[in-house]
Amino acid sequence: LRRLTFTGENITGNAVGGRQDLADVMALAESSGLAVDVRPVALEDADAVLDDIAAGKSLGRSAIDLRAG
Protein backbone atom coordinates (compact mmCIF):
# COMPACT_ATOMS: atom_id res chain seq x y z
CA LEU A 1 0.00 0.00 0.00
CA ARG A 2 2.99 2.26 0.36
CA ARG A 3 3.18 2.48 -3.41
CA LEU A 4 -0.41 3.76 -3.60
CA THR A 5 0.37 6.51 -1.12
CA PHE A 6 3.60 7.76 -2.65
CA THR A 7 2.96 7.32 -6.38
CA GLY A 8 -0.63 8.46 -6.64
CA GLU A 9 -1.81 5.14 -8.06
CA ASN A 10 -5.37 4.24 -7.24
CA ILE A 11 -7.62 1.23 -7.10
CA THR A 12 -10.87 1.30 -8.99
CA GLY A 13 -13.87 -0.90 -8.30
CA ASN A 14 -17.10 -1.47 -10.14
CA ALA A 15 -19.11 1.72 -10.47
CA VAL A 16 -22.40 0.09 -11.42
CA GLY A 17 -24.56 -2.33 -9.51
CA GLY A 18 -24.70 -3.55 -5.98
CA ARG A 19 -23.92 -6.74 -4.13
CA GLN A 20 -27.02 -8.53 -5.39
CA ASP A 21 -26.16 -7.60 -8.98
CA LEU A 22 -22.69 -9.08 -8.51
CA ALA A 23 -24.15 -12.25 -6.98
CA ASP A 24 -26.55 -12.54 -9.93
CA VAL A 25 -23.76 -12.13 -12.50
CA MET A 26 -21.58 -14.69 -10.71
CA ALA A 27 -24.48 -17.16 -10.64
CA LEU A 28 -25.16 -16.56 -14.34
CA ALA A 29 -21.51 -17.12 -15.20
CA GLU A 30 -21.41 -20.34 -13.18
CA SER A 31 -24.63 -21.68 -14.71
CA SER A 32 -23.30 -20.86 -18.19
CA GLY A 33 -20.06 -22.77 -17.61
CA LEU A 34 -17.90 -19.66 -17.57
CA ALA A 35 -14.92 -19.69 -15.26
CA VAL A 36 -14.76 -16.70 -12.93
CA ASP A 37 -11.25 -16.16 -11.62
CA VAL A 38 -11.35 -14.10 -8.42
CA ARG A 39 -8.44 -14.41 -6.03
CA PRO A 40 -9.19 -13.23 -2.47
CA VAL A 41 -6.12 -11.72 -0.79
CA ALA A 42 -5.43 -10.38 2.69
CA LEU A 43 -4.82 -6.65 3.04
CA GLU A 44 -1.19 -7.23 4.02
CA ASP A 45 -0.66 -8.95 0.63
CA ALA A 46 -1.94 -5.98 -1.40
CA ASP A 47 1.56 -4.80 -2.37
CA ALA A 48 2.42 -8.23 -3.76
CA VAL A 49 -0.81 -8.26 -5.78
CA LEU A 50 0.01 -4.84 -7.25
CA ASP A 51 3.48 -6.13 -8.16
CA ASP A 52 1.88 -9.14 -9.91
CA ILE A 53 -0.45 -6.85 -11.87
CA ALA A 54 2.44 -4.58 -12.91
CA ALA A 55 4.44 -7.63 -14.04
CA GLY A 56 1.53 -9.03 -16.04
CA LYS A 57 1.27 -12.08 -13.76
CA SER A 58 -2.27 -11.47 -12.53
CA LEU A 59 -5.12 -13.15 -14.37
CA GLY A 60 -8.71 -12.37 -13.50
CA ARG A 61 -9.41 -10.23 -10.48
CA SER A 62 -7.93 -9.91 -7.05
CA ALA A 63 -10.19 -8.79 -4.23
CA ILE A 64 -8.93 -7.65 -0.84
CA ASP A 65 -10.64 -9.69 1.85
CA LEU A 66 -10.72 -7.50 4.93
CA ARG A 67 -11.74 -10.51 7.03
CA ALA A 68 -8.52 -12.38 6.16
CA GLY A 69 -5.24 -11.97 7.96
Angle among Cα 37, 16, 59 to the nearest 5 degrees reads 20
> φ and ψ at 35, to 5 degrees?
-90, 130
3-state secondary structure of 20: helix
Position 51 scores a pLDDT of: 92
C-alpha span between 55 and 59 (Å, rounded): 11
Nearest to 44 by CA among 60, 61, 64: 64
pLDDT over 70 (residue 1): no
pLDDT of residue 48: 92
Give pLDDT tens digits for 8-61: 666 666 667 788 888 898 888 889 988 778 889 999 998 999 899 889 888 778
Sign of CA dihedral 48, 29, 31, 66: positive
Identify the pLDDT of residue 8. Answer: 66
**pLDDT computed for residue 64 by the predictor:** 86
